[in-house]
Structure formats: C-alpha cells, structure tokens
Structure 1
Amino acid sequence: MPPDTGQLAVLTGNALKGHSRYDNPALGKTLRTLLNRLEEIGVLAWTMSITRGEASSIAPSATFTERVQAAGISLEDIGRLPGEEVILLSRKFELRGNVEDGKREAVEYTDTPATMAMREVMRDLNTFLAGADITFVDDGGDPVDTHQRTLRRHFTLRRDDAGERFDRCGRLFGGFWQYLKRDRRGGIRINGEKVAVLDYASMFPRLAYASVGAVPPEGDLYAIPGLEEYRRGVKLAVNCLLFDDHTNRKSWPADLTLASGTAEGAALPEGWTVARTRRAVLDRHPALAPCFGTGLGYSLMHTESMILVEVLNRLKAQGIVALGLHDGLLVPHAKAEAARTAMEEVGRKVTSMSLPVTVATLG
C-alpha cells in the first residue's frame, strides 16, 4: 500500500538496470523516460532526489486520481506481472571488521535443479493463492490490499560463507496477512469464513532439540524459573543465543533491555544479564548447550521453512487455502483440524519428533 505521504519511492539510476535476476529490465533510462512523459501529460508529480543513494519519489496528480476514481478502478484491477524471482538469496553487509549494519545485498546465483524445483513450488503456490477467495472485513484501520499474495522464499548467506547455498533461512515473505498486526488478522475471510490460526508450540527450541537428537521436556519450553512472566523476553533471548555465531556476547539487543517489566513489553527484568539468562535456560534445557554460539538459528529457520512449504503444498492438494506465518498458518475455521493433522504429520516426518500444534479462532 502507498505510504501516508501519498508518495512512492522509486529508483531511477542507470546502475540498477536489469543486471541481475532480481531487477526489472525497465529500470534506468526506460523508466526515467516514462516518468518524464507521464509528468508532462499531468499524470504524476516526480520529485527527483539530489542526494546520492537516496530514492526519488512519485505521486499521482489530482486530475489522474479523479479519473481513476471515476472509472471505478480498485486494487482488484492492479496486479503483478508473472515471472518475478521468488527464490531470493542475500548476504549481510559487513562494516568495521565483524560489525554488521543490518543491511543486505542481493546475491546473484547460478540455478541448479534444486533452485528450479523450489521456484516451481513457489509459483504453483502463488497461482493457487491468486485464485483464492480471500477478503478483509473493514475494521476502520489502514487499507488492506488482499491482492498482495505473492510469496517469496528468502535465503541468507552468513558473512563467512564462501559459496552459494540454500540451507539457511528460506522463510516466506510477501503476503499481506504477514504484515497485519495480530489483532487485525481476525478481519481476514477465506471463502467468506472466519479464520483459525495454527502455530507450532515453542517451535525453535523444539527444532534445536531435534538437531541434537534429544527429547524436550513437557510443557512450554520458554517457561524458565524466575522468568515466568517474561515469556516473550525469554523467546527473544533464546533466539539470540541460537543465532549468535560466537559465545562471547556481553549484552542484549535494545529490545531485550527495555525495563518494561512485563511479558507484553518483550523485555527481560533488570539484572538478567546474558550470562545469568544463559545459565537459567541451560538449567532447564541442558541438552541445548551445543546449540548456542554456533549460528544454528539460520539452519533451524530453514528446517522451519521446509516444514511450512510442505504443509502448504499438502493443503493445496486438498483444495484448502492456507496463509503461511513462518511457524504457523491461517486457514478457514472449518479446515482447522485438517490443517493441524497436516502440520503434525509433516513436523514428525521432517524432525522425527512430535511438534505440538495450537489452534485458535480469530474474529
């Protein structure tokens, strides 16, 4: 959806023109020429950036907006051209030695039978979703574009990876439902029906247990003595330890040190240092000691994505529309049990252990 400003960022530099699988060949001179002409005939206003590396912006003119409204054009009439890349590989930028700035660069890769097979699976899923009856009940909030359904798998390279590989991450992104706040997802309707949300319970630590061939204890794996009221903070801390590729972390990220004092604030209470929290987690989960500080999280995320993609494919084969949520999905309420069965069966197939699934109805 366009931002509140009504302006859309657009890249017009020559260096961006069709040099990789991720780029639109129209970028560069072709796009600049088109924008110039559209501005001349009063379709849009084009604000060119004078700062290197900063995007320009465009906005529809009042006259063009009136013509669109008069013609009854809606979001349903606007779509994406088929053929865009849906298997993405990227690497984090590295600055000042081992310090990363969080930005990523797209990595051009050579296709293999494996990447071509993954692309075919994703395009089949996207075709199925494109034809599905998915709507949203207006709740008075920001507009929701229910036609934003193109899913893409995002794979990651660590900074020390020398070659191309597709066994890190692989999560699905791009569906409008993924960007909706949790309290708004109840407005989604599939085939006119309210949706149920299904989640794998404590999935990341369970996948970590599976990776070392150990059986997790009963109950909520994020329930740590002394931190019972800080489940979300524990979850973030465990994920942090699983993604670290070293064991010398001295402090937590900012979102774990905000002294909000409640689970809702996603923070750990004062005094819970990295060392103290690590000890508490390992007291409850000693089998996970080999999993911390090795960067295992990227591989666990890949396992998670493999499970989700297979579940979505199974449900598609049954004619069930499912919207993926990384470690869970949304389905019509009447199909919740069929979805739970698929999730449990695929989870056991991939990990050789039981992955419990929770079900709740939204809306």
Structure 2
Amino acid sequence: MIDMERRDRALDFRWCVPAELLWAAGIPDTNDKLYDQARRSIYAAACIAADEAPFGDAWWISYSRRKAFYEGQQRYQGLPYTYERVTAAVAEGVALGLLEEQRAAPGAHLAKDPRQSRFRATRDLLSSFQDSPFEYRRRPCHLVVRGDDGRPVTPPPTQALDRMTKQVGRINAYLQGSSLTLGTGDGWEHGTRTVRARSERRSRSGRPAGWATVTPEPVAEVCRIFSRSRTDKGGRLYGWWQQLPKARRKECLINGELVIEPDFSALHPTLLYAMRGHVLRHDPYVTGTYSRDDGKLALNVALNARTLHEAAACLVHNPDWGHGLDYTWGCLKAVQKRNPAIAKDIGADKGIDLMRVDSGMAIDVLSVCEKAGIPALPVHDSFMVPASQGARVEGIMDEILTRTVNKLRSYKSTTNR
C-alpha cells in the first residue's frame, strides 16, 4: 500500500531543466520537442521538491495515470502536458535511475482516502542538476476554474470569462513593475532555487511554527482561482510571495523600498453584515468569555464550513486551536451570540461567496494603485506596498471597502422591497 503523505506536491510545468544539460545525466536525445519539454519539466519539478526538504524526507510529486485526468489540462499546463508524454517521461526517468516511482492501484483516486501515483528525484538526478539554474515558463492561463475535487476544469467560453481573463492579464502586466527583493540575515536561508523563511508565529503550545520554503519566480504574477466549477465562487488572486510568513514579508523590498502591508480588518464579517443590511460597529471576535484570538479563529473557520459540526471538527483538528470539543462548541455558540445579525451564516458555507467579493475588491485596489503609479502585491485581504505609499493605499482600501459595503447594503434593501 502506498502511504500518500499530505505533503505530496501536484505536478506543474512552470520550470524546466535546460536542454543542454540533459546529456550530462545520460538522457537520450529525442526529436519530439513537446516530449522533451515534458520530461525536462518533470525533472525540474522533482529537483525543486527535493530542494524544499532534506533528501530522506523529500516531497513526492503526485501525478495521474488516468487518460481522463488530462482532458482539458493543456489549457492550464501547456501543450506538453498529456497522458502519453507525462507517463512516458516518468517511465523513462525511472528506467534511467533518475526518478523513484510509487504507483497507485487503478481506481485508488476514488477511495475514501484518495491516492494517486507519485514520483520523486533520486540522488543521481540531484547530483546531475544540483546547482544548475532552471528555465521558467509562464502559465499558459492565469485564470483557473477548479471543480469540487480541486482539479482544474475547462469552463464554457463566455464573454464574462473572456473579460475576467483579460483583466488578470492587465493586472499581471501592471505587476511586472513591482520588483520584489527578499530579505536576508536571521530568518532567511537562500538556496540555488528555493528560499526558506522562518515564521514568527507560535502554536498554542508555544512551539514555533517553523520554516516556509518557497520557489521565487522571476516575475511577479498572480493566478486567479475560482472554485466549484463556477466563476462566482472564490476567485482570489494567488502569487508565490504569499507563501512567505508575514514577518518575513515585511523584511522584503519593493522597488528598493521597505514593505508595509495594510490590510482590511474583520473583512468577511464586515461584508456579511452588509449583505444582511447592517453595519458592523463592534469587534465580532470579542465574546467576553473566550479570548479574542479563539473567537477570531472560530468565526473565520465557521464561515468557511458547510455546517457547525464541520466547523467544530476543523477546529479540534487544527494544530493552532488546542482545545477540546466542549470548549470548541462553547466558543462557536459564543461567536453566534455575539453576532446575531449573521448567526445563521456561521457554519453555512459563506466563505466561498465572501472570497468572490473580496477578490473583486483586491482587483479594484490594484487598479487604483496602477493608475496612481503605486507598486503593490496582493496577499488576499492585504497588500505589500512601499512604506512611503502605505497611507495612500490605506485610503484607497477604505474607499473601496465603503463603496462595496454600501453596494451590498443597497442590494439587500432593493431585494427586500
């Protein structure tokens, strides 16, 4: 039986081993350029996964051996990403001693504990490309729609989808003007292709959260990701810098200037109150019985859960929670009591809709910053900007929040007539 660890990475084709270096690893030449690109991407992905963890604990890369899995995936990964090329390249790598593979049984992806086949780099592959730079390939598509299983799906072409795709393209063109320089010194470890950054957060037991490992990309780009096969669910912008711990992001430079990161306070509760025709005038996380940190985590988890039972289970199994089931239920009931106007929305799967609203707000903020000539990198409900522009960006965010809240309340008022 294959022990599929949670840390398995998904295969992507954003990096490639340079073609001229393949001979050093004893890899035979081929006239099929697309197959050549596929195997070079697979080797690069395996090396990067190994860079992000010691060899003995190297991350595996999951991939599918089902033909149906690859239908429509070229939209997101490019022409080389096909069943024939991926499976042949993995098999070749295994035969050459460059990859180690574990195959899942047919139908294992449908099991209660879903499994996919996976591979990782061997020491021979790492020794061949240990210090070589890799080629970066931009995503063919920067707007992704995922199904219920998290797998990208191909949405039907519509004018709205075309507009949103072009919108992300304009944002990425603007983001090219933001040059991000990562920090150095204590809390940072820079490798050939990856960077490790220490988090300052601590668990409830007081233990440090550890280190985050990222693979910096040569350009600042975001990918907008929707959920549940719909473009009105989710839609947040994702960039590689978001994986950096917050404390480390503040040590970076944008266009040579130190970073400040203004954010929206209690954004999702604020938006929910507006959707119900109210204005949030209190701290929604303060219950008077439980700590504010507990109230905040409980409310935000519950807003993203389909039911209160699911919210309770998520909290109990969350390493940042550290409380038993009775305490958890008490805290959930307390945040409901604290927020009667939205009590029915707590544990009712509202997070996916709120993300659609806050992603639109993020796009509005970036659009205004672009017109004002302010470099900015989005981090969901906050923005990394030069310290000298922090006050201006806070003003922009306040204006957009006010406009959004008024629009939501106005819509609620209209629908109640």
Say yes or no: TM over 0.5: yes
1:141 aligns with 2:217: no
Residue 57 of structure 1, CA deviation: 2.7
So what's the TM-score if we normalise by structure 1? 0.75
**CA gap 1:78/1:124 in 2 versus in 1, 3 angstroms:** farther
1:272 aligns with 2:317: no
Q: Distance in 1 between matches of 2:87 and 2:169?
A: 30
Q: Percent identity?
A: 22
Residue 339 of structure 1, CA deviation: 0.9
Residue 251 of structure 1, CA deviation: 6.9
Alpha-carbon displacement from aligned partner over 1:80-101 (angstroms, at most 9, x marks no partner): 235x2222222334xxxxxxxx
Q: Distance in 2 between matches of 1:224 and 1:296?
A: 21
So what's the TM-score if we normalise by structure 2? 0.66
- Pick from 238, 247, 252 the counterpart of residue 312 of structure 2: 252
Decide which structure has greater strand share.
Answer: 1
Q: Distance in 2 between matches of 1:105 and 1:54?
A: 15
Task: Name stretches of at least 5 consecutive residues in structure 1 with no aligned partner.
Answer: 94-103, 158-163, 355-363
**CA gap 1:256/1:334 in 2 versus in 1, 3 angstroms:** farther
Residue 23 of structure 1, CA deviation: 4.0
Residue 336 of structure 1, CA deviation: 0.6
Alpha-carbon displacement from aligned partner over 1:150-193 (angstroms, at most 9, x marks no partner): 31122122xxxxxx5322111122x2221112222123110111
Q: Distance in 2 between matches of 1:346 and 1:266?
A: 33
Q: The residue matched to 2:248 in structure 1 has which SS?
A: helix
Q: Report the count of equivalent residues.
A: 317
Q: The residue matched to 1:122 in structure 2 has which SS?
A: helix
Structure 2 partner of 1:49: 102
**CA gap 1:62/1:330 in 2 versus in 1, 3 angstroms:** closer
Asked if structure 1 preserves the Cα contact closer than 8 Å seen for 2:287 and 2:334, the reply is: yes
Q: The residue matched to 2:148 in structure 1 has which SS?
A: strand
Asked if structure 2 preserves the Cα contact closer than 8 Å seen for 1:14 and 1:29, the reply is: no
**CA gap 1:311/1:294 in 2 versus in 1, 3 angstroms:** same
1:172 maps to a residue whose letter is: L
1:80 maps to a residue whose letter is: R
Asked if structure 2 preserves the Cα contact closer than 8 Å seen for 1:243 and 1:296, the reply is: yes
- Pick from 132, 138, 148 the counterpart of residue 92 of structure 1: 148
Q: The residue matched to 2:227 in structure 1 has which SS?
A: strand
Q: Distance in 1 between matches of 2:126 and 2:339?
A: 61
Residue 215 of structure 1, CA deviation: 1.4
Q: Distance in 2 between matches of 1:252 and 1:190?
A: 40
Q: Distance in 1 between matches of 2:356 and 2:315?
A: 24
1:181 aligns with 2:245: yes
**CA gap 1:197/1:250 in 2 versus in 1, 3 angstroms:** closer
Say which structure, 1 or 2, has more relative contact order (CA 8 Å, 6+ apart). Answer: 1
Residue 335 of structure 1, CA deviation: 0.9
Asked if structure 2 preserves the Cα contact closer than 8 Å seen for 1:233 and 1:268, the reply is: no
Moved more, 13-22 or 297-306: 13-22
Q: Distance in 1 between matches of 2:127 and 2:333?
A: 64
Structure 2 partner of 1:339: 393
Asked if structure 1 preserves the Cα contact closer than 8 Å seen for 2:361 and 2:400, the reply is: yes
Q: Distance in 2 between matches of 1:314 and 1:238?
A: 31
Q: The residue matched to 2:263 in structure 1 has which SS?
A: strand
- Pick from 157, 160, 167 the counterpart of residue 114 of structure 1: 160
Q: Distance in 1 between matches of 2:169 and 2:153?
A: 20
Asked if structure 1 preserves the Cα contact closer than 8 Å seen for 2:250 and 2:261, the reply is: no
Q: Distance in 2 between matches of 1:245 and 1:214?
A: 23
Structure 2 partner of 1:197: 261
Q: Distance in 2 between matches of 1:51 and 1:120?
A: 39
Q: Distance in 2 between matches of 1:281 and 1:348?
A: 24
Residue 64 of structure 1, CA deviation: 3.6
Q: Distance in 2 between matches of 1:215 and 1:176?
A: 34
Q: Distance in 2 between matches of 1:7 and 1:277?
A: 36
2:271 maps to a residue whose letter is: L
1:25 maps to a residue whose letter is: L
Asked if structure 1 preserves the Cα contact closer than 8 Å seen for 2:302 and 2:346, the reply is: yes
Q: Distance in 2 between matches of 1:155 and 1:136?
A: 29
- Pick from 267, 271, 274 the counterpart of residue 207 of structure 1: 271
1:19 aligns with 2:72: yes
What are the equivalent positions in structure 2 for 1:1-363 lying under 5 Å apart? 1-2=48-49, 3-4=52-53, 5=55, 9=61, 11=63, 13=65, 15=67, 16-17=69-70, 19-20=72-73, 21-27=75-81, 28-31=83-86, 45-52=98-105, 53-58=116-121, 61=125, 64-65=128-129, 69=132, 73=133, 78-81=135-138, 84-93=140-149, 104-139=150-185, 140-141=188-189, 143-144=194-195, 145-147=215-217, 149-157=220-228, 165-173=230-238, 175-218=239-282, 220-227=283-290, 229=291, 231-246=292-307, 249=309, 252-256=312-316, 265-267=320-322, 271-274=326-329, 276-352=330-406
Structure 1 partner of 2:201: none
**CA gap 1:11/1:273 in 2 versus in 1, 3 angstroms:** closer
Moved more, 345-354 or 308-317: 345-354
**CA gap 1:237/1:118 in 2 versus in 1, 3 angstroms:** same
Q: Distance in 2 between matches of 1:318 and 1:80?
A: 30
